[in-house]
Amino acid sequence: MQIFMDEIGTVSHVIQLAVAPVFLLTGIGAILSVLALRLGRVVDRYRVLIERDSHSPKNLQEIRLLAKRAVWVHWSISLCTISALMVATVIVALFIGYERSRDPSHFVSPLFIFAMISLISGLICFLREISLSTHTIELPEELKE
């Protein structure tokens, strides 16, 4: 009976260790949702401009800008997805380490570091896309001070 109780204690400790990465996955999922919406808006606007008959210089400039934004959102989504995959792998490694009675820290630490670097890079790409999106906002002359 004591061995069984020790096993439950150990399993509950592994679950406690895995809870923080699970919350991180939830946050990354929310970021990915926002990024997917932004990409959808970029694609929708791109299609509207392409379908217009007149390809004025202003429209062509916006089309080029939308293409750049799509690339940045793509990189952001890719990097954040890689981060989520690495965090999920960390969780799996924790449980495999427990099942095999091995210390997974030599595997978990680099994975988690790589996940954070990937997430940071994805967020930097997101900031760049937001920066590009603000360049499309122009006030009409009568509203300028």
141 found inside a domain = no
142 found inside a domain = no
- Indicate the pTM of the whole model: 0.81
In this predicted structure, what is the pLDDT of residue 105? Answer: 82
145 found inside a domain = no
**C-beta neighbour count of 61 within 10 angstroms:** 12
28 found inside a domain = yes
Number of domains in the chain: 1
143 found inside a domain = no
144 found inside a domain = no
In this predicted structure, what is the pLDDT of residue 4? Answer: 45
The whole domain housing 126 covers 2-136
32 found inside a domain = yes
Per-residue pLDDT of the chain (145 residues; tens, 9 = 90+): 445 445 555 667 667 766 778 899 999 999 999 999 999 999 999 998 888 766 788 788 888 999 999 999 999 999 999 999 999 999 888 888 877 888 888 888 999 999 999 999 999 999 999 999 987 666 667 767 6
